[in-house]
Chain A
Amino acid sequence: MKIAIPVDSNNENTDVCVSFGRAPYFLIHDTETKTNEFVTNEAANAQGGAGIKAAQTVVDSKAEVLLTPRCGENAAEVINGANIKLYKTQKGSAMSNIEAFSNNNLPELKEIHAGMHGHNAG
């Protein structure tokens, strides 16, 4: 199974990125082979609709699970449409969150925010 996480940088010590749509990379972790792949998020600098495009990248990665601190409504529509499960990350590195998820220690992400829609200060 593949797990996707928005991350700040493309190395294995990276933290989880605070933003989903504007994260520079996605870490795609394969639980069977224990390998990591970094995918550039083309939506990071998009003018608008970043959440949709970022979610498309996650769908295309064939991930079945997305670990993220937050998610906007348009992105959630794409993620849910592809039957990808959403879990909320905790503070710390991407790898520690993958471990927490494997031990069933991450809660499902229930709060979907209304999106930044041009007001993304970050």
Chain B
Amino acid sequence: MRIAVLSGKGGTGKTLVSVNLASVAGSAVYVDCDIEEPNGHLFFKPQNTTEKVISRLIPEIDEDRCDLCRKCVDFCKFNALALIGNKIKLFDKICHSCGGCKILCPQNAITEKEKRIGKVISGVSENVQVETGMIEIGESSGVPIISALLAEITQKGVDTVLMDCPPGSACSVMESIKEADYCVLVAEPTLFGVHNLNMVYELVKIFKKPHGVILNKCVEGIDIAEDYCKEKQLKVISRIPFDKELGKLNSDGEIVSRINGQYKALFVAALKSITEEASHETASDSKR
């Protein structure tokens, strides 16, 4: 089963939830899709790591062949090419690697070359295979790295996959949840938290993904998020308390479910609940 963990903003507890769900899952793969600032590895401290470079294709222009007809410049919908003086200039960070300019060039002056955009680091931490995506500074789209990460795990054939998504609801999140069987929405119980929860709720509805909510930093008597979940008929899978000890362990880079029985029980129950929910959804899907 592939479980995606997402939230409308950063700092709600996506990594806390996905790291700990992976830890209690028996044999699992933890995939850090938050490629702009992956931090799951800080908890897992994976061993035996290997690195794989991720590239995408960008055009290379042969100036001797180019006759400055500028068909490529006019074609590029992303405006990544400009004709300055007697030279075509490529803005590689704006290029979306569509390859159209290469196909179009009447002089066959354009070939494609690989541009390094990031890496995937693989390692092991006890029962968990840890896959971390990292984007190069200045690259604008993480989608190719996330898709390389997910392609990597497809080949491994493990039961439980935890995908720690980037914050928000943009392209990189959509890429991350595309293949998910279940989406866990992590939210804080504040008005701001509810606003952000609503963003990811709208997203998983569009993708028709089974979903449930984990509320983090819960304080007794503050029920804004609870009320929202009731109103939208969202299942609250788990409530993580606003707890000083948890905060301390987490900020020390510890995996709480590996050292604290109470939290281990909390995440075991959460994973059980997610598994039941997901299989229920699959069963009711197949009846349709």
Contacts and interface: CB of A to CB of B under 8 A. Distances in A.
B83 A52 contact: no
Given A49-B91, A52-B91, A77-B89, A59 B84 contact: yes
A108 to B, nearest CB: 20
B84 A78 contact: yes
Contacts of A35: none
Contact of B73 (A43, A48, A56): A56
A77 B85 CA distance: 13
Contacts, number: 44
29 contacts: A46-B79, A48-B79, A48-B94, A49-B78, A49-B79, A49-B80, A49-B91, A49-B94, A50-B79, A52-B80, A52-B91, A52-B94, A53-B79, A56-B73, A56-B79, A59-B82, A59-B83, A74-B91, A74-B94, A77-B89, A77-B91, A78-B82, A78-B84, A81-B82, A81-B84, A81-B89, A82-B84, A82-B85, A117-B140
Given A49-B80, A52-B79, A52-B80, 17 more contacts: A47-B77, A47-B78, A48-B78, A49-B78, A49-B91, A52-B82, A52-B91, A52-B94, A55-B82, A56-B73, A59-B82, A74-B94, A77-B89, A81-B82, A82-B84, A82-B85, A117-B140
Interface size class of A (residues with CB under 8 A): 10 to 19
Contacts of B82: 52-53, 55-56, 59, 78, 81
A47 B96 CA distance: 12
Contact of A56 (B83, B87, B94, B140): B83
Interface of B: 73, 76-80, 82-85, 87, 89, 91, 94, 140
B85 A81 contact: yes
A62 B101 CA distance: 25
Contacts of A46: 79
Contacts of B140: 117
Nearest to A56: B82
A48 B79 CA distance: 7
Contacts of B83: 56, 59
Interface string A34-55: 0000000001001111101101
A43 B85 contact: no
Contacts of A55: 82
Contacts of A117: 140
Nearest to B140: A117
A48 B78 CA distance: 5
Contacts of B78: 47-49
A73 B44 CA distance: 40
B73 to A, nearest CB: 7
B163 to A, nearest CB: 24
A43 B74 CA distance: 11
Nearest to A59: B84
A101 to B, nearest CB: 23
A77 B90 CA distance: 11
Nearest to B73: A56
A49 B73 CA distance: 12
Nearest to A79: B84
Contacts of B91: 49, 52, 74, 77
A78 B89 contact: yes
B29 to A, nearest CB: 32
Q: Which of B77, B85, B91 has the most CB of A within 10 A?
A: B91
B36 to A, nearest CB: 14
